[in-house]
Structure 1
Amino acid sequence: MGFSLKFHYCLVSVMVLLPALCYSQDYFVRSRATYYGSPDCLGTPSGACGFGEYGRSVNDANVAGVSRLYKNGTGCGACYQVRCTNPQLCDDNGVNIVVTDYGEGDHTDFILNPRAYARMARSNTAAQLFAYGVVDVEYQRIPCRYGGNKLQLKVHEHSRYPSYLAIVILYQAGKNEIQAIEIWQEDCKQWIGMRRAYGAVFDMANPPQGSISLRFQVSGSAGLTWVQAPNVIPSNWKAGVAYESDIQLE
């Protein structure tokens, strides 16, 4: 009888907790947001994610730096809906942003570029919103959408052919996060891990010769999975060039 009661209690606990686990991603989380100075209201090409110029204009130039959501770089490229909570000043839908940088403010999760910060405001109230400097917000994770663009791998400008390869992940759609990248080593027939240098930048000294195949360890609603991109970077790769894959991590 004691075993039966204990089992019943555990079952009830699981049934109570399961809906919360399944739907927690759909809830808004309360936080605070501020903005950073920018003469052209765009992002910065020197962001901690390593996106460069892509980080200035991606997502119609609505971008943000984050603190704890940076997640040691795995949060780079994630998309969030952020809306401030002052009903007199703030638009109900807020703004959809892409994480391109790391930053810490006054107990803030988001440091938005001026363009994104202004888009949280109602019509003709942006100046008042900027005057606050820091505002209460609520946010939720949303899928990134890039209008049919496939995942791209940009060879970082610091790469040196053929002895050092660094890549940056661009146009990562959906809500998944890339935890690791491995490169196929043909001579020994095995996958070798690349180092996460910082942000969305992965690198390797003495990469394999010939065209390069990669696989990505992706975390999402299905748990951890591996996705392969064969021959995604050509044998004569060049620093600064972005190569489009045939995959998307949605």
Structure 2
Amino acid sequence: MSHSLKTHSLTLLLLFTLSSTATSHFSSSSSTSTTQPSTWSEWRSARATYYAAADPRDIVGGACGFGDLVKAGYGMSTVGLSESLFERGQICGACFELRCVNDLRWCIPGTSIIVTVTNFCAPNYGFPADGGGHCNPPNKHFVLPIEAFEKIAIWKAGNMPIQYRRIKCRKEGGIRYTISGSGIFMSVLISNVAGAGDIVAVKVKGSRTGWLPMGRNWGQNWHINADLRNQPLSFEVTSSDGVTITSYNVAPKSWSYGQTFESKQFES
């Protein structure tokens, strides 16, 4: 049985550069939050495999655009999702609890792990879904670093039956905004998000503009074509459970491309 399953068949150009971190003054307001979906507490059936990083560069990348997962604070508690779960990247940043089931030989009893979605497991239509195409629709499949997999099962298990449920994310520190781009093109990577974990809408405001909606570029990278240079920047972000946080003057007037700034965090 294979000792690993590499999930890097989908390689994307990353705009993420975690070159500097700053914390700015802010004020915030939250909308009336929607209740946590009742389905989050339900355990559902899926399968899981793992990959073993053969090279340190293997932990840098992913279809959500978070870049170096260790520097970004995610470590090895991460997961790639099959197409049936990935939601075209909208779910990037969400958290799941996983546990091993139905295999007394390989499961570690009474254990579970909490992981953050950072990657996509691409379908392989050269194999049937019930054969080697683990991540083909309609399969619900999780691909874990071996370090995470071995917390719930012995590595010899290979393709394991598991149960999963969506949970709130708990993160250290505030939401991080990494600004990249050139000229009037701006891309902002939003990471380290607690609460629901996944962001569904973003607005940005300069000191000389009103609130401007940003579009999802890919994963949790959001972009806009606007000249916001030489202005302090404020952000309004909305998570998938309907909670909105507005943080004013997250980036000071002197911000530059390649910097990361931190603001208020969602409740976890």
2:54 is aligned with what amino acid? P
Describe how 1:3-152 pairs up with structure 2 within 5 A.
23-39=38-54, 44-54=59-69, 58-67=73-82, 68-85=84-101, 86-91=103-108, 92-104=110-122, 105-106=133-134, 107-121=139-153, 126-129=154-157, 133-147=158-172, 149-152=173-176
Q: For 2:56 and 2:163, locate their aligned partners in 1 and report how far apart those are by CA, in whole Å.
A: 22
Match of 1:217 in 2: 238
Which of the pair is proportionally richer in helix? 1
| Matched position secondary structure for 1:87 | coil
Aligned CA distance change for structure 1 residues 28 and 238 (closer, same or farther; 3 Å)? same
Range that drifts further, 178-187 or 33-42: 33-42
Contact 2:95 / 2:115 at 8 angstroms: preserved in 1? Answer: yes
Match of 1:5 in 2: none
TM-score (norm 2): 0.71
Aligned CA distance change for structure 1 residues 27 and 43 (closer, same or farther; 3 Å)? farther
Q: Deviations over 1:126-162 (max 9, x none)?
A: 2422xxx211110011221123x11111124xx22x4
| Matched position secondary structure for 2:111 | coil
2:203 is aligned with what amino acid? E
Q: For 2:266 and 2:246, locate their aligned partners in 1 and report how far apart those are by CA, in whole Å.
A: 10
Q: What 5-or-longer segments of structure 1 have no aligned partner? A: 1-20
| Matched position secondary structure for 1:61 | coil
Q: Does 1:203 align with 2:226?
A: no
4+ aligned runs moved over 4 Å, structure 1: 40-43, 185-188
Q: Deviations over 1:202-243 (max 9, x none)?
A: 0112342301111112231xxx34321111122222333211
Q: For 1:60 and 1:44, locate their aligned partners in 2 and report how far apart those are by CA, in whole Å.
A: 9
Indicate the structure whose relative CO is greater, using CA pairs within 8 Å and at least 6 residues apart: 2
Contact 1:43 / 1:61 at 8 angstroms: preserved in 2? Answer: no
**Larger Cα Rg: Structure 1 or Structure 2?**
1
Taking only aligned residues, the RMSD between alpha carbons, in angstroms, comes to 2.5
Range that drifts further, 34-43 or 173-182: 34-43
2:202 is aligned with what amino acid? I
| Matched position secondary structure for 1:90 | coil
1:144 is aligned with what amino acid? C
Aligned CA distance change for structure 1 residues 249 and 198 (closer, same or farther; 3 Å)? farther
| Matched position secondary structure for 1:179 | strand
Range that drifts further, 162-171 or 34-43: 34-43
Q: Does 1:232 align with 2:250?
A: yes
Q: For 2:86 and 2:262, locate their aligned partners in 1 and report how far apart those are by CA, in whole Å.
A: 25
| Matched position secondary structure for 2:205 | strand
Aligned CA distance change for structure 1 residues 246 and 108 (closer, same or farther; 3 Å)? closer
Q: Deviations over 1:29-88 (max 9, x none)?
A: 101111234215896322010000136773441211112332222211111111121233
Q: What 5-or-longer segments of structure 2 have no aligned partner? A: 1-35, 123-132
Q: For 2:80 and 2:205, locate their aligned partners in 1 and report how far apart those are by CA, in whole Å.
A: 33
1:151 is aligned with what amino acid? I
| Matched position secondary structure for 1:116 | helix
| Matched position secondary structure for 1:194 | strand
- The aligned length equals 215
Contact 1:34 / 1:108 at 8 angstroms: preserved in 2? Answer: no
Q: For 1:75 and 1:57, locate their aligned partners in 2 and report how far apart those are by CA, in whole Å.
A: 17
| Matched position secondary structure for 2:59 | coil
Q: Does 1:155 align with 2:179?
A: yes
- 1:176 to partner: Cα distance: 4.9
Contact 2:207 / 2:232 at 8 angstroms: preserved in 1? Answer: no
TM-score (norm 1): 0.76
